[in-house]
Amino acid sequence: MFVCKDYANLSFNSFTLCEKFFFIGYISVRDEALTEEVKMSKVLASSKRVVEITAVQQIVADGGHAGGTSSCAGFIRGAAKSVGVSLPVTDEVCASRRTHSITMGGELLNLGRGQQIFDAALSTGRLVSIKGGDSRDITVAVEACRTFIEAGGDAILYHLQGNADTIREGQTTIAPATDLTMRRISLAAIIEAQGPDAWEVGDRGDRFAFCRLDGDRPRLRVHWASVPARLWIDATAIPFHTSDDLPGSVTWETVNAAPIADCSGVAVYDSGMVTVEGVELAKPMRAGEANLLAAIINAKGEAVQAPNRQTAKVVKQKLGDASARIETVRGKGYRWVA
């Protein structure tokens, strides 16, 4: 028979033997239930996504650049400029889609959309797309990608395999994938081998590169198993590494090498990066915000109309103390005070 006790204020040694067995059993059942709850919870990202995240983190650790950052955008815009076209870039630093606080290696993960075309740039500036497991979709920016490839641009696709767990709701930390292997291939080589049919939307048929509809948006897809063996840079899977031992050389440089607007210690770059006294803003600007700031600076004291008051307000907030340089001109917009 149990005697009523204040269990919260008792040590384990003060319990009777019967009570100890009861609590050990309770804790065991509780822990099993919690483990099962995690197993049954909603999947936030597949194991192949963990493989991709691990690879990008390793690229960054070795001096490369993650897609969605201004440093990677600098190389994307630089590569586009070198062949006379423009390319979209994504902003994953300012992204407000994070609904879960999950980290890998101390870095907060964003499980939102991908990077449209490029997932990272190697330390040399070479642009790469990372695909884990059976992930086959290359991009939804089909027209921009086609324009870039046909102008002479390229992206190296990394087809990766590795061991990783899925990310489930309720988890806060994720272990990196292990035993990563890769086979690499040039997207330009794939398109050249497949021909113009690669850009046609429809059933795959006998194509190894084709476009499919996802809702009302086309996606460029590569069917890995059907790609001719002669196209692969790596004949068989090799251990993953981030060295740029790929054919050809990188002939472009980052557009972050020179600002498109620069005055009074504030500089704006074509990638969207903004620096104050040489230091990049802790809260980066979105493309529209950076473009407005560049226009105001380059107007050399003349008033510039903003697309809306909210954009101008956010620009000033992100500039911090340097926002004192932006003066409101009633009825005309905003001007830079040097």
Secondary structure (DSSP) of 269-304: -TTS-EEETTEE-SSPPPHHHHHHHHHHHHTTTS-B
Contact 155, 118 (CB under 8 A): yes
* Ramachandran area for residue 325 (φ above 0: left; ψ -120 to 50: alpha; else beta): alpha
Structure confidence at residue 17 (pLDDT): 60
Pick from 26-35, 104-113, 252-261 the range whose average pLDDT is largest. Answer: 252-261
Q: What whole-number distance in Å separates Cα of residue 207 and Cα of residue 194?
A: 7
Domain ranges of the chain: 43-255, 258-336
Question: Whole-prediction pTM value?
Answer: 0.81
In percent, the amount of the chain with pLDDT more than 70 equals: 84
Check if CATH label 3.30.930.10 holds for domain 258-336. Answer: no
Complete edge-to-edge strand list for the sheet that includes strand 217-222: 137-139, 217-222, 209-214
For residues 217 and 86, give the distance between their C-alpha atoms in angstroms, rounded to a whole number: 20
Contact 102, 42 (CB under 8 A): no
Q: What is the pLDDT of residues 298-326, one digit of tens each?
A: 999 999 999 999 999 999 999 999 999 99
